[in-house]
């Protein structure tokens, strides 16, 4: 599989999002997904301390085992674990990192990401703590998630010249959510940041299994009320259906369109897609091989314009 740079790291263009581990699937099923990903050539694994009630990191570390040295492990901190564990104060940054290392069973995290901005803490203070972790050899690179272009600029200007800098930003991005194109993706180009999209399949909407007026398949992510309310608007479903028809006309699936389109966007390094079965992860791994032409891209823009995302 193609690999791309994230700072000094090099990860597969399709990554595995581990947010289902400990939430929708148990350890045995998580292990099967991880092994399928490795066998398919995926080397980018993205998790977070809050996923699966903190079990995702544990499941990922156990499943990787001796194969950990061949992959990029990315994790995140900052969202609420409980009332005592949240935010980006320097003391908590250090505690969160140690907690994640223990759960993962590792001595170093390749990419350690601030999961969301913390408006109560100056970004310079958080970056200082993260720089200390890099210098201690416990973190190789640092990144952020859910940051605006203005927040990326603030972080870049706040760090001393010789300190570690964010090398990546991980935000939601897909054919049904194109908002990063307005400011964040251009800012990534200016700052030389890798962009790591999450929810590239619109939380499942772009897999082709949802239709207007038809209940979501039982046990699917979008059968859950919180996800359906966010992703299953009539407009989004209609757009997914039109995109599916376009993909079929080109001899491809909607899944292949969603992954290939996202992988071809400027600054994108690794497209993070979740999976609950080995078959899903194999499909995701193979889906980014379609090289879209300029004519294809123009038609996609007509069907799913950026302004609507």
Close Cβ partners of 276 (under 8 Å, ≥ 6 residues apart): 20, 24, 25, 29, 33
Q: In sequence order, which residues have a C-beta less than 8 Å from that of residue 151 and are 6 or more positions away?
A: 117, 123, 144
Phi/psi for 250 (5° steps) reads: -100, 5
User: Which single residue is written with the structure tokens 């993070």?
Assistant: 272
Q: Which residues contact 200 (CB under 8 A, 6 or more apart)?
A: 173, 174, 206, 258, 259, 262, 271, 272, 273
Fill in the DSSP letter of residue 54: G
Question: What is each CA distance from 197 to 13, 213, 249, in whole angstroms?
Answer: 11, 29, 26
In Å, how far are 24, 156, 285 from 275, measured between CA atoms? Answer: 10, 34, 11
Q: Do strands 194-198 and 139-145 pair parallel, antiparallel, or not at all (unpaired)? A: unpaired
Candidates 27, 51, 112, 173; catalytic one: 51
Q: Would you give the DSSP letter of residue 221?
A: G
Residue 97 buriedness (CB in 10 A; 0-12 / 13-18 / 19+): buried
Active site residue 51: yes
| Cα torsion 185, 189, 195, 197: sign | positive
Cα separation, 74 vs 53, in Å, equals 17
Active site residues: 51
């Amino acid at each position: 599989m193609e690999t791309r740079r994230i700072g000094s790291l090099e990860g597969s263009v399709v990554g595995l999002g581990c947010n289902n581990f400990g939430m929708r699937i148990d350890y045995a099923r998580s292990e099967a997904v991880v092994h399928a990903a490795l066998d398919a050539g995926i080397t980018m694994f993205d998790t977070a301390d809050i996923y699966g009630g903190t079990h995702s990191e544990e499941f990922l570390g156990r499943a990787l085992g001796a194969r950990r040295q061949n992959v990029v492990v990315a994790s995140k901190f900052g969202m609420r674990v409980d009332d005592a564990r949240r935010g980006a104060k320097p003391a908590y940054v250090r505690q969160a990192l140690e907690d994640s290392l223990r759960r993962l069973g590792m001595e170093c995290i390749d990419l350690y990401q601030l999961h969301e901005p913390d408006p109560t803490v100056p970004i310079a203070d958080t970056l200082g703590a993260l720089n200390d972790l890099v210098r201690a050899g416990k973190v190789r690179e640092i990144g952020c998630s859910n940051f605006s272009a203005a927040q990326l600029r603030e972080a870049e200007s706040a760090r001393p010249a010789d300190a570690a800098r964010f090398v990546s930003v991980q935000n939601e991005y897909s054919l049904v959510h194109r908002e990063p194109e307005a400011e964040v993706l251009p800012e990534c180009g200016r700052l030389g940041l890798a962009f790591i999209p999450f929810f590239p399949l619109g939380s499942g909407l772009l897999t082709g299994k949802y239709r207007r007026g038809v209940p979501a398949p039982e046990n699917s992510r979008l059968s859950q009320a919180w996800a359906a309310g966010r992703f299953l608007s009539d407009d989004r479903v209609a757009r997914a259906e039109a995109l599916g028809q376009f993909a079929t006309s080109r001899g491809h699936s909607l899944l292949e369109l969603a992954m290939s389109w996202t992988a071809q966007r400027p600054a994108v390094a690794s497209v993070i897609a979740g999976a609950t079965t080995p078959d899903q992860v194999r499909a995701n791994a193979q889906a980014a091989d379609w090289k879209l032409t300029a004519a294809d891209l123009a038609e996609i823009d007509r069907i799913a314009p950026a302004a609507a995302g």
